[in-house]
């Protein structure tokens, strides 16, 4: 056994994990999922990355494996399609891959009036953001429970805390993830599995996200973060067993203000911000009276 391997093993032991175990990350080809993969690889944790076919997943897995000397596997599948999660389950079962960390990160959204959205967009958003998470967690849970220590990290959003005009389906899917995670955490209280849920504000990942953050002006600059910083902070908090993880002190303050401020004001502010970036140009902003229903 090499010196390097021994060092890895003692590091993993400190985290309660065992050498040879894997972290499964959905949406691991780019953005926040890729950043999670980097952080975990730095912790000497092997990786199973899942994303859509032809997304550069193979290259991402190879480069992480070379850079950090960890085992990496990748599975190309559409998690929103029938049989997508089952394909992942089949490979993990057949190859007997020991998974001790599950990160349900893949997600999708649109930003426009509900009436301008398509049924396909809404269906993809609901299936990927919620059903795929439920299925993946249900499949892996028996294996996770057999580990010495295991972690589930579900990626929600600050959108989970508020109804979001111009993202009317995305926000409820993220509220589902928040509540699902907290309920599961309670159920698994006396098992080796710790459940955390991440609720980030804007993250500078894909072009769509960065354009949206730019359009929010100074608020966007103040509240958004780089994917690497979000991933670093989140993995640290996940390993500490924190329930709800909100990266950025300003975002934690916004969460508090949003909780205690009159809800009509909260909806109006969210509406004003997200109408700026809505597909199809600047939408009309509803006056406060129509928001409160007066
Ligand atoms: N960016 C933000 O501002 C922000 C803020 C709050 C919360 N979040 C949440 O953070 C998570 C990651 O966001 P991100 O900005 O990193 O997204 P992203 O850059 O668009 O990456 C999404 C990842 O999910 C994968 N994916 C998308 N649809 C899939 C499907 N049907 N089946 C399998 N994999 C699929 C993508 O794979 P391909 O490479 O194959 O497309 C990609 O790896 C999401 O859950 C999002 O809701 C993001």
Our count of domains for the chain comes to 1
Tell me the CATH number at 190.
3.40.50.720
Choose among 249, 257, 256, 254: nearest CA to 225.
249
Residue 23, beta-bridge partner list:
47, 101
Q: What angle do helix axes 132-145 and 84-94 make, rounded to 10 degrees?
A: 20
- Ligand 1 centroid, distance to 110 Cα (angstroms): 12
Q: Whose CA is nearest to atom 34 of ligand 1?
A: 51
Evaluate whether 150 touches 106 at the Cβ level (below 8 Å). no
Neighbouring residues of 101: CB distance < 8 A, sequence distance ≥ 6: 17, 21, 22, 23, 24, 40, 45, 150, 151, 153
Over the stretch 208-220, which tens digit does the pLDDT of each residue have?
899 989 988 899 9
What is the β-pairing status of strands 193-198 and 72-76? unpaired
Residue 155 CB–ligand 1 contact under 6 Å: yes
**Residue of 228 and 280 predicted with greater confidence:** 228
Please give the number of the atom of ligand 1 that sits closest to the Cα of 124.
31
- Ligand 1 centroid, distance to 27 Cα (angstroms): 6
Residue 205 CB–ligand 1 contact under 6 Å: yes
Q: In angstroms, rounded to a whole number, what is the distance separating the alpha carbons of residues 213 and 10?
A: 41
Q: Give percent of the chain above pLDDT 90.
A: 82
Residue 202 CB–ligand 1 contact under 6 Å: yes
> Does position 198 have pLDDT exceeding 70, yes or no?
yes
Q: Whose CA is nearest to atom 46 of ligand 1?
A: 107
Over the stretch 93-118, which tens digit does the pLDDT of each residue have?
999 999 999 999 999 999 999 999 99
Question: What pLDDT is attached to residue 3?
Answer: 53
Q: What is the pTM of this model?
A: 0.93
Range of the domain at 168: 3-292
Please give the number of the atom of ligand 1 that sits closest to the Cα of 128.
31
Question: What pLDDT is attached to residue 11?
Answer: 78
**Residue of 281 and 265 predicted with greater confidence:** 265
Over the stretch 119-148, which tens digit does the pLDDT of each residue have?
999 999 999 999 999 999 999 999 999 999
Question: What pLDDT is attached to residue 281?
Answer: 59
Q: In angstroms, rounded to a whole number, what is the distance separating the alpha carbons of residues 129 and 104?
A: 9
From 28, 83, 106, the mutation candidate for ligand 1 (largest count of ligand atoms within 8 A of CB) is: 106
R_g over Cα of the chain: 20
Question: What pLDDT is attached to residue 234?
Answer: 98
Question: What pLDDT is attached to residue 5?
Answer: 57
Question: What pLDDT is attached to residue 8?
Answer: 72
Residue reference for tokens 């953005």: 31
- Ligand 1 centroid, distance to 26 Cα (angstroms): 9
Taking residues 35-48, report their average pLDDT. 96
Question: What pLDDT is attached to residue 289?
Answer: 34
Q: Give the chain's end-to-end CA distance (angstroms, integer).
A: 72
Using CB atoms within 10 Å of the CB of residue 48, give its burial: 0 to 12 exposed, 13 to 18 middle, 19+ buried.
buried
Q: Which of 43-52, 77-86, 164-173, 272-281 has the lowest mean pLDDT?
A: 272-281
- Ligand 1 centroid, distance to 157 Cα (angstroms): 12
Evaluate whether 223 touches 254 at the Cβ level (below 8 Å). yes
**To the nearest whole number, what is the mean pLDDT of the chain?**
92
């Amino acid at each position: 056994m090499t010196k390097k391997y021994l060092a890895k093993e003692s590091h993993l032991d400190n985290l309660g994990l065992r050498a040879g175990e894997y972290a499964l990350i959905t949406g691991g080809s780019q953005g926040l999922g890729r950043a999670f993969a980097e952080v975990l690889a730095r912790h000497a944790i092997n990786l199973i990355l899942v994303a859509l076919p032809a997304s550069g997943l193979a290259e991402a897995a190879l480069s992480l494996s070379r850079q950090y000397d960890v085992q990496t596997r990748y599975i190309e599948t559409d998690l929103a399609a029938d049989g997508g999660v089952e394909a992942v389950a089949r490979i993990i079962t057949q190859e007997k891959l020991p998974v001790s960390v599950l990160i349900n990160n893949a997600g999708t959204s649109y930003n426009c009036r509900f009436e301008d959205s398509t049924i396909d967009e809404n269906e993809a958003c609901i299936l990927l953001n919620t059903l795929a998470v439920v299925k993946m967690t249900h499949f892996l849970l028996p294996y996770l429970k057999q580990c010495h220590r295991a972690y589930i990290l579900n990626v929600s959003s600050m959108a989970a805390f508020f109804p979001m005009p111009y993202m009317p389906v995305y926000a409820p899917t993220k509220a589902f993830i928040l509540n699902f995670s907290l309920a599961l955490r309670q159920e698994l209280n006396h098992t080796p599995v710790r459940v955390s849920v991440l609720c980030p504000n804007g993250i500078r990942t894909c072009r769509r996200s960065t354009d949206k953050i730019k359009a929010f002006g100074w608020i966007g600059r103040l509240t958004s973060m780089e994917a690497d910083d979000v991933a670093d902070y989140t993995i640290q908090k996940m390993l500490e067993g924190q329930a709800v993880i909100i990266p950025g002190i300003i975002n934690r303050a916004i969460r508090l203000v949003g909780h205690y401020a009159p809800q009509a004001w909260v909806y109006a502010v969210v509406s004003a911000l997200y109408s700026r970036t809505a597909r199809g140009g600047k939408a009309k902003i509803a006056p406060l009276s129509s928001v409160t229903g007066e």
